[in-house]
Amino acid sequence: MNTTTDGLRFRQGLILFVLVCALAVIDTATPLAAPLASELPETTPVPIGKEQVVTGEVVMIEGNVQVVKDPSNEKTDAYLIIDHLYVAQITGDTPTDFHVNEQTRMDEDIQVGDKVEVLAAQNGEALSIKKTE
Number of domains into which the chain is organized: 2
- pLDDT at residue 131 greater than cutoff 80: yes
pLDDT at 25: 57
Asked if residue 72 is part of any domain, the answer here is yes
Asked if residue 41 is part of any domain, the answer here is no
- pLDDT at residue 37 greater than cutoff 80: no
Same structural domain for residues 80 and 125? yes
With vertex at residue 112, the alpha carbon angle to CA 109 and CA 117, rounded to the nearest 5 degrees, is: 75
Asked if residue 40 is part of any domain, the answer here is no
Q: Find the domain containing 24 and state its range.
A: 3-33
| β-pairing verdict for 96-99 and 105-106 | unpaired
- Kindly report the pTM of this predicted structure: 0.55
Q: What's the pLDDT tens digit per position in 39-90?
A: 444 444 445 557 889 999 999 999 888 788 777 777 777 777 888 989 998 7
